[in-house]
């Protein structure tokens, strides 16, 4: 086999042939001078194209902004100047690569030529050495003496072996030198085009740029987790552990999205939706807490234990028209005075997601002991999960009732359950406001799932802010 390199036809040995010069394979394996030349020409063409584009852009901007005034014109000029600066730097990079490859190109061609020719010399020397080693040596006569002509045979053999051995060694050195020179040339090429050489031109990713890339991956992972948790929270509403997990992911998402937005790597819509998601949890917590306070107040009247909550309900009676909020209010209790006549209420204060913190529970307990959850966080989560399971089991027999309970629990979590237990014993129904709020919460959750899926696949957005955008 043979190859043509810059018009010179050279053999292409198989790997086993290189063993004669001390190599197990081609010492310039992968080196293709013609391919390197094509690459250099391609990079040179790119550099020339960029240079032409820069010149054309400068001409267009100069002509297009003549006689124009205003902030938008200045902004256009500033943005154009930034683009031109970056294009100039890109062009400089390609030009530097072209120059470095042009230097490397003849060195590669020389290495290929030297190694191939050295191999041919080594093979010839090895053949001569084999032949020399097979030459006859002097033999003694019958009288035990070595005639001069026989002695000449030994001398001739030694001379031939030495000459062949020297030629083989020289061929090996030639190949080795060519290999070493190419390694040095490759190192110089690498140093000339490495990103470290251009780190000051602003085009190379900094540590912060790499950090932002990691954050974008984290943001995608969080979006998947958020979609899964949103679906679970909608299907099994009010489970404290699920809500806490979703709330934690929402908080982290706000932080991550905020950093990405500030650096022009995320859209304003994504940031707003992340903040709204956290606010939804906050509103839900307030609604749930309010429902449990009302339920605790009702039980306080009957049991006569905590005067504080009882007084709180009495205060509500004093400030609300007619002693209570009539049906249709957000926290209805049709005539609070009737609570005093009830038998002990069968209701336990279960934990919500914010009750996972002992600090929060201690603060609530200092305000009033009834505000501290009576059931542990994980025990409450288990109870709430099975309550949700039982809720869906009643779907075939009571569709409207199941949907109403589902929406109410989505709107008020354990606070809704507490209110329903109080109202059931008063033979009253919960306000439709719970269902409306719950329906809004469900709609918000479904929208976040759909939006997250579309954003994950880059079907919509990103909606970058002014001055932002992908780098």
Phi, psi values for residue 149, rounded to 5°: -65, -30
pLDDT digits (tens, 9 = 90+) for 72-112: 666 666 777 777 777 877 877 788 888 888 888 888 888 88
* 352 three-class SS: coil
pLDDT of residue 317: 47
Task: Scan for tokens 């589902």, then name that residue.
Answer: 406
pLDDT of residue 207: 76
**Beta partners for residue 9, in sequence order:** 4
Average pLDDT along the chain: 76
Phi, psi values for residue 419, rounded to 5°: -65, -40
d(CA 36, CA 103): 11
Q: Which of 6-20, 116-130, 375-389 has the lowest mean pLDDT?
A: 6-20
Kindly tell me if the per-residue pLDDT of 173 is higher than 90: yes
> Six-digit token pair at 179?
């290999």
Residue 102: CB partners within 8 Å, gap ≥ 6?
A: 40
- The model's confidence at residue 343, banded by pLDDT at 50, 70 and 90, is very low
Q: Which of 199-208, 226-235, 328-337 has the lowest mean pLDDT?
A: 328-337
Q: What is the DSSP string of 125-186?
A: HHHHHHHHHTS------TTS---HHHHHHHHHHHHHHHHHHHHHHHHHHHHHHHHHHHHHHH
d(CA 82, CA 469): 14
Kindly tell me if the per-residue pLDDT of 270 is higher than 70: yes
Q: Which of 22-36, 70-84, 232-246, 329-343 has the highest mean pLDDT?
A: 232-246
pLDDT of residue 456: 76
d(CA 388, CA 379): 14
d(CA 313, CA 359): 26
Kindly tell me if the per-residue pLDDT of 2 is higher than 50: no
Q: Which of 125-129, 141-145, 320-324 has the lowest mean pLDDT?
A: 320-324
pLDDT of residue 412: 75
pLDDT of residue 334: 42
- The model's confidence at residue 256, banded by pLDDT at 50, 70 and 90, is very high
| End-to-end CA, the chain | 49
d(CA 246, CA 249): 5
Alpha carbons within 13 angstroms on the beta-carbon side of residue 451 total 19
Q: What is the pTM of this model?
A: 0.53
Cα dist. 141→49, 52, 134, 156, 414 in Å?
86, 89, 21, 19, 120
The Cα angle at residue 42 between residues 41 and 44, in degrees rounded to 5: 65
């Amino acid at each position: 086999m043979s190859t043509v390199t810059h018009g010179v036809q050279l053999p292409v040995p198989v790997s086993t042939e290189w063993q004669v010069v001390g190599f197990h394979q081609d010492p310039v394996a992968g080196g293709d001078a013609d391919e390197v030349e094509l690459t250099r020409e391609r990079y040179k063409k790119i550099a020339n194209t960029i240079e032409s584009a820069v010149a054309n852009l400068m001409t267009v901007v100069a002509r297009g902004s003549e006689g124009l005034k205003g902030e938008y014109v200045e902004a256009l000029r500033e943005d154009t100047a930034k683009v031109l600066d970056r294009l100039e730097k890109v062009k400089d990079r390609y030009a530097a690569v072209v120059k470095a490859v042009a230097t490397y190109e003849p060195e590669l061609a020389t290495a290929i030529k030297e190694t191939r020719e050295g191999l041919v010399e080594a093979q010839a020397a090895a053949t001569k050495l084999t032949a020399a080693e097979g030459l006859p040596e002097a033999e003694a006569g019958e009288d035990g003496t070595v005639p001069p002509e026989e002695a000449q045979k030994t001398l001739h053999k030694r001379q031939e072996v030495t000459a062949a051995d020297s030629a083989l060694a020289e061929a090996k050195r030639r190949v080795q030198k060519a290999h070493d020179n190419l390694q040095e040339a490759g190192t110089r090429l690498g140093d000339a085009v490495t990103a470290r050489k251009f780190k000051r031109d602003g085009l190379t990713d900094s540590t912060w740029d790499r950090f932002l890339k990691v954050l974008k991956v984290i943001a995608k992972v969080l979006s998947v987790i958020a979609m899964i948790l949103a679906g679970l929270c909608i299907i099994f509403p009010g489970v404290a552990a699920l809500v806490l997990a979703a709330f934690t992911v929402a908080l982290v998402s706000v932080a991550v999205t905020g950093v990405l937005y500030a650096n022009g790597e995320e859209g304003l819509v994504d940031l707003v939706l992340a903040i709204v998601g956290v606010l939804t949890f906050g509103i839900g917590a307030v609604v749930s807490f309010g429902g449990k306070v009302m339920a605790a107040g009702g039980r306080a009247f009957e049991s006569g234990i905590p005067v504080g909550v009882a007084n709180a309900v009495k205060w509500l009676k004093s400030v609300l028209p007619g002693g209570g909020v009539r049906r249709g209010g957000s926290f209805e209790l049709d005539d609070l005075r009737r609570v005093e006549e009830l038998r002990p209420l069968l209701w336990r204060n279960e934990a919500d997601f914010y009750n996972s913190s002992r600090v929060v529970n201690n603060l609530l307990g200092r305000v009033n002991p009834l505000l501290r959850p009576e059931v542990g966080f994980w025990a409450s989560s288990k109870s709430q999960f099975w309550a949700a399971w039982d809720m869906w089991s009643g779907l075939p027999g009571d569709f409207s009732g199941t949907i109403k309970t589902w929406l109410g629990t989505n709107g008020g979590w354990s606070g809704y359950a507490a209110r329903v237990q109080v109202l059931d014993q008063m033979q009253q129904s919960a306000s439709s406001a719970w269902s409306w709020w719950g329906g809004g919460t469900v709609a918000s959750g479904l929208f976040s799932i759909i939006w997250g899926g579309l954003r994950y696949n880059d079907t919509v957005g990103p909606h970058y802010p002014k001055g932002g955008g992908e780098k």
